Structure 1
Amino acid sequence: MITIAMAEDHQMLIDGVKSFFEYDDEISIIGAVNNGEDLVKLVSLKQPKLVITDIRMPRMDGIEATKIIKSKFPHIRVLAMTMFDQPEAIKQMLDAGATGYLLKNSGIKMLLKAIVAVSNGETFFDPNVAFNFMNNYIDKNVIIGKTEKVILSNREKEILQLIATGKTSKEIADVLFIAKTTVDTHRKNMIRKLNLSNGNELIKYAIDKKYQF
């Protein structure tokens, strides 16, 4: 049995996950809270096999909560489930001790795969963030979720929209208040995801397909 403690400040999402696993014989949500501070208390009380936590939450964020949980209970696995796809957020969660990173828009079936993988001691990455970190985890047992269709992150959609207007990476970086290198990384990831050959094809894709944002 995989016992799970969950922290998420949107109660509707908690209710949806609990409902999905309500009749599952192998997975049990034994507690759910809305902030990191209460998550630490819940984990100390019930000591689940796995923790699922958002990053941005009131009173204590998921990064700090993960650090505390892993320092007290190093055997407990942590899976981050969030909307943040920025490399900085992913790195902070992994450095805190999480061994799984999942985007909320990936769906419940992807969540199930992540739960099983992380609880078995494997490292699981959402397919839309995995390739930013593969070099750091090349020697580990890494599982990358698979998706049937191309799913661009919210940030990638923003950048693609700006590419369609003819802006350079530097101009996009200025508009979004991020580093140019971050924009370049997103460009490379989109080229890979969309199975394109180069940046010119990415520009053509953005314009010709009239991407719906």
Structure 2
Amino acid sequence: MKILFNGCSITWGDELEDNRKSRFSKLVCDELDIDEKNLSMRGASNDYILRTTIDYCDKNTVDIAVIQFTVESRIEYFGDDAFPHQFAPANRVKCQNKNKWFYKLIYNEYHGYENLNKNLYFLDLYCKYKNIRLIPLWLDWSKKHQSFYWKSTINLIHLCKDIWNNPEYNQGLIKSHKEILCPNHHPNELGHRWVADKIISLINFDK
């Protein structure tokens, strides 16, 4: 069995004392006795997560893709150097004119919602085409997606309704679960264990 993990700093294991040993992807792979493949990056956007997931799956055999979608306001763009760069609201205070201009004059929450659902729908279709089982996770600690994403003005949301309704998405690490969060709200070791156990149960359920 070959499992691919991808996501942002949560899947990367930020704030853990030893992320290479304690993050949920490592815990899952240790229990299943398989090699870990984790493409996650701190500060990654959903664009990055989609692009790197597809790029890897095009070149490698993958049976299961465990993909954690991140904060929807992060955007990936290509610069004059032809390389992808990350936009994020947290960077707007720095001396990055493009970034400040984008979030001040163009971006609003509906851009983020549309982009997230576009990425989600595309990845769902791609995994079905490649016969890869997709286990998508929403691991943001600050919002519940049920109330956060269901807005009638979002054009793409109806395409993702069956995916969002899937119980596999209901993994929100909301702030009320302080016992499983680090000071900056990434999962602690207990939180990663909780996520790993959920993923393992989903994998075993489908055997």
TM, length-normalised to structure 1: 0.44
Structure ID, larger Rg: 1
Larger relative contact order (CA 8 Å, sep ≥ 6): 2
TM-score normalised per structure 2: 0.45
